[in-house]
A and B are shown apart, each in its own frame.
Chain A
Amino acid sequence: MIRRLLFAAAAIAAAPLAPAAAQDVAIVNAKLVIGTGDGPIEGGTVIVRGGRVVAAGQGIAVPAGMETIDAGGKWVTPGIFAGFTRLGIVEVSGVSQTNDAAAGDSPFHAAIDVAPAVNPRTSSLALNRAEGITRAVVAPDTGSSMFAGQGAIIDLGADMDAVTVPRAFQFMEYGEAGSREAGGSRPAAYAFLRNALMEAQDYARNPASFADRGPDAFLTRLDAAALVPVVQGKVPLMVHVERGSDILVILGLREEFPRLKLVLVGATEGWTVAPQIAAAGVPVIAKPLADLPSSFESLASTQSNIGRMQAAGVTVAIGTINNDESHQARWVKQYAGNLVGLSRVSGATGLDWGHAFAAITSGPAEALGMGDRFGSLQPGRHGDVVIWDGDPLEIGSTAVAVYIDGVAQPLETRQQLLRDRYLTPPDGQLPNAYRR
Chain B
Amino acid sequence: MSGAPTDGGVWGDLILLRMTIAIGAAATLMACTPDGGGTQSAGSTTASSSSAKDVQRYSRDPYPSTYHRYPGAPTLVTNVTIFDGEGGRIENGSILFRDGVIVAVGTDIAAEPGVTVIDGTGKYLTPGIIDVHSHLGDYPSPSVAALSDGNEATSPTTPEVWAEHSVWPQDPGFARALVNGGVTTLQILPGSANLMGGRSVTVKNVYARTVQGMKFPGAPYGLKMACGENPKRVYGSRGRMPSTRMGNIAVDRETWARAVEYDRKWDKYEQEGGDSPPSRDIAMDTLRGVLDGEILVQNHCYRADEMAVVMDMAKEFGYHVTAFHHAVEAYKIADLLKENDTCAAVWADWWGFKMEAYDETDANLAILENQGACALIHSDDENGIQRLNQEVAKARAAGRRAGIDISEEQAWTWAAINPARVLGIADKTGSLKPGKMADIVLWNGNPFSVYTRPERVWIDGALMYDMNDPSRRPVSDFELGQPGGGNFN
Contacts and interface: CB of A to CB of B under 8 A. Distances in A.
Contacts of A206: none
Main secondary structure of the interface of A (DSSP, over half): loop
A300 B482 contact: yes
Contact of B488 (A272, A303, A326, A422): A303
B361 interface: yes
A266 to B, nearest CB: 8
B141 A292 contact: yes
Interface stretch (B50-58, B208-216, B319-327, B346-354): B346-354
A327 B349 CA distance: 10
A415 B4 contact: no
Nearest to B485: A300
Contacts of A300: 482-484
Interface stretch (A51-59, A150-158, A210-218, A340-348): A340-348
Interface in A203-230: none
Interface string A318-354: 0001111111101000100110111011111000000
A299 B467 contact: no
Contact of B363 (A91, A296, A419): A419
A292 B173 contact: yes
Interface in A130-183: 141-142, 148, 173, 176-177
Given A272-B483, A422-B367, A296 B144 contact: yes
Nearest to B394: A395
A294 B355 contact: no
A355 interface: no
A423 interface: yes
A322 B6 contact: yes
Interface residues of B, number: 70
A93 interface: yes
B361 A419 contact: yes
Interface string A278-315: 00000000000111111110011111100000000000
Contacts of A418: 359-361
A390 to B, nearest CB: 10
Nearest to B448: A395
A398 B402 CA distance: 12
B299 interface: no
A346 to B, nearest CB: 5
B353 A422 contact: no
A393 B16 CA distance: 33
Contacts of B363: 419, 423
B483 A291 contact: no
Given A291-B488, A322-B5, A396-B400, A338 B450 contact: yes
Given A299-B483, A422-B367, A93 B451 contact: no
A295 B4 contact: yes
A30 B143 CA distance: 46
A344 B453 contact: yes
Contacts of B361: 415-416, 418-419, 422
A323 B7 contact: yes
B313 interface: no
A384 interface: no
B412 to A, nearest CB: 14
Interface string B323-365: 0000000011011000000000000011111110011111100
Given A334-B390, A419-B363, A291 B355 contact: no
B229 interface: yes
B3 A322 contact: yes
Interface string B171-209: 011001000100000000000000000000000000000
Contacts of A247: none
A426 B452 CA distance: 39
Nearest to B390: A395
Main secondary structure of the interface of B (DSSP, over half): loop
Contacts of B487: 302, 347
A416 B396 CA distance: 15
Given A293-B479, A302-B484, A425-B371, A395 B450 contact: yes
Contact of A294 (B6, B358, B403): B6
Contact of A299 (B334, B353, B484): B484
Interface in B367-383: 367, 371, 382-383
A124 interface: yes
A267 interface: no
A269 interface: yes
Nearest to A304: B489
A292 B382 contact: yes
Contact of A177 (B2, B173, B229, B482): B2
A292 B172 contact: yes
A413 B303 CA distance: 20
B142 A294 contact: yes
A394 B4 contact: no
B478 interface: yes
Contacts of B397: 395-396, 398
A292 B488 contact: yes
B143 A324 contact: no
Nearest to B332: A422
Q: Which of B172, B382, B444, B483 has the most CB of A within 10 A?
A: B483
B488 A340 contact: no
B396 to A, nearest CB: 7
A18 interface: no
Contacts of A92: 352-355, 358
A240 interface: yes
B31 interface: no
A44 interface: no
A296 B147 CA distance: 13
Contacts of B449: 341, 394-395
Contacts of A296: 142, 144
Contacts of A91: 352
Contacts of A64: none
A341 B402 CA distance: 28
Contacts of B390: 334, 338, 395
A301 B484 contact: yes
Interface string A113-129: 00000000001100000
A142 B2 contact: yes
B62 interface: no
B450 A393 contact: yes
Q: Which of A142, A244, A272, A338 has the most CB of B within 10 A?
A: A338
A126 to B, nearest CB: 12
Contact of A322 (B2, B331, B332, B444): B2
B396 A244 contact: no
B194 to A, nearest CB: 18
A345 B229 contact: no
A294 B451 contact: no
A202 B293 CA distance: 72
A398 B401 contact: yes
Contacts of A344: 444, 451, 453
A295 B141 CA distance: 7
A183 to B, nearest CB: 16
A94 interface: yes
B394 A396 contact: yes
B251 interface: no
A13 interface: no
Given A294-B142, A322-B6, A395-B393, A124 B352 contact: yes
Q: Which of B3, B14, B358 has the most CB of A within 10 A?
A: B3
Nearest to B16: A94
15 contacts: A92-B353, A93-B7, A94-B353, A244-B483, A289-B383, A293-B482, A294-B6, A302-B489, A303-B180, A324-B352, A334-B450, A344-B453, A345-B453, A348-B489, A423-B402
Lowest 7 CB-CB distances: which A-B pairs, in order? A396-B397, A94-B354, A337-B450, A300-B483, A419-B361, A322-B3, A291-B488
Interface of B: 1-8, 14, 17, 141-144, 172-173, 176, 180, 229, 331-332, 334-335, 349-355, 358-363, 367, 371, 382-383, 386-387, 390, 393-394, 396-397, 400-404, 444, 448-453, 467-468, 470, 478-479, 482-484, 487-489
Given A93-B14, A425-B371, 7 more contacts: A93-B354, A94-B229, A94-B355, A293-B141, A301-B488, A327-B351, A395-B448
